[in-house]
Amino acid sequence: MLTITEKILRAHSNSKKVVAGDFILADVDKCLANDITAPIAIEVFRKVIIGTGKGVFNKEKIILTPDHFSPAKDVASAEQCKVLREFAKEFEIKYYFKIGKVGIEHCLIPEQGLVKPGELFIGADSHTCTYGALGAFSTGVGSTDLGVAMALGKSWFRVPESIKFIYSGKLNKWVSGKDLILHTIGDIGVNGATYKAMEFTGEIIENLSMANRFTMCNMAIEAGAKNGIINPDKITHSYLKNRFSKDYKTYNSDKNAEYDDLIEYECDKIEPQVAVPHLPENSKPISEIAEENIRLDQIVIGSCTNGRLEDLAIAAKIINKRKISKDIRCIIIPGTQNIYLEALKKGYIKIFLTSGAIVSTPTCGPCLGGCMGILGPEENALSTTNRNFLGRMGHITSKIYLSSPAIAAASAIKGNITSPEYID
């Protein structure tokens, strides 16, 4: 009896007896890198193929997304992007996304139909685990491993044990996938699932939108997990309907699959969450945080965690006909060009701009302290991103709080961390 993670890795290895704990050399379906990680991977790739006369293992299975510092913020980032551009041209890489087409990679890849259930997908970015929401085994790897995989189409793994998380009950108002995963990380800690597969199940997950599923799997790495994953169901297939023909194979965990642990949550008891500095595990309920009257300087709504259309819709609903606090810099970042366009059509962008917020082209920028919203000394930011490590978004004395788009939007209006329940 196997878990979905074991089944996918077994299917991509030469051994049909693979189980958790085994080391395998596996065939990969897709390789992903960005403007920070790709240049190193490309250097390794060239060392692997030197003297062989060979190229990449498959021109249609390598994806390059210059999304972290693009548009280039300085000469160094321009040079990084140039490496990707020239490599893509030299080896005729089909899926190279330049400015005008690029988006935040983990929003862009599913949107473009470049990942499907049952695949083994690796990326030189830790949040590649996002695609487990579609029932794929997706995980972050180092640039060295990615460079080898771009040449050989293979990578090695230790098959992870799985932890089964069961979410039952009913979601309270304004509670989203971001709140569920922050609560979970707060419970088990940032090392609570080290090199494990976090398998999200239960009636709440079965009724959770795809956007929220992406958010939960995206942050599995923040608990140390190798991957986050959800068994494909009708919501998965509905999402994929216009992106793929039925040419994919799905895997599901056996009912009697063996798990390393089983953890249950009664969601009726979960409030919207805020992770306080300086770790995602420092999650607290909004009712407790709101009482502290925490002053804010900046709000960021976006990222590969919460930059999808559904996230912008929630923010727009709360901000509509209100003004951003005079003390707040509110930065909205749609995850892709298509999301930006849809938000424009639906009037969300107008709501944001007339409220006093700014809207950026898709970029990872502020999440990693790269551009588009660097924090100064002793500044406080509330962000819908995934990490609040010390100095992550700017100055070492700045502080980062993590939340859902709903909490971020309400806090942008109020000027301190609060809930939509408290702004009327």
Give dist(CA 337, CA 83) in Å, integer: 23
Burial of 222 (0-12, 13-18, 19+ CB in 10 A): buried
**pTM metric for this prediction:** 0.96
pLDDT of residue 11: 96
- Asked, as a colleague might, if the bond just before 106 is cis with ω within 30 of 0, I would say no
State the CB neighbour count (10 A cutoff) for residue 16. Answer: 7
pLDDT of residue 245: 65
Q: What is the mean pLDDT of residues 96-104?
A: 94
**Domain at 274-416: CATH code:** 3.30.499.10
CA distance 308 to 311: 5
Percentage of the chain lying above the pLDDT 90 cut: 94
CATH 3.30.499.10 domain locations along the chain: 4-15+22-153+160-264, 274-416
Write phi, then psi, for 285 (nearest 5 degrees): -70, 150
What is residue 424's predicted lDDT score, i.e. its pLDDT? 67
124-156 as b/e, with b when 16 or more CB fall inside 10 Å? bbbbbbbbbbbbbbbbbbebbbbbbbbbbbbbe
Give the pLDDT confidence of 61-86 residue by residue, as tens digits: 999 999 999 899 999 999 999 999 99
Residue 404 pLDDT exceeds 90: yes
- Mean pLDDT across the stretch 273-293? 95
Report the chain's mean pLDDT, rounded to a whole number: 96
Please give the pLDDT value at position 160: 98
Q: What is the CATH number of domain 4-15+22-153+160-264?
A: 3.30.499.10
Question: What is the rounded average pLDDT of the residues 242-253?
Answer: 84
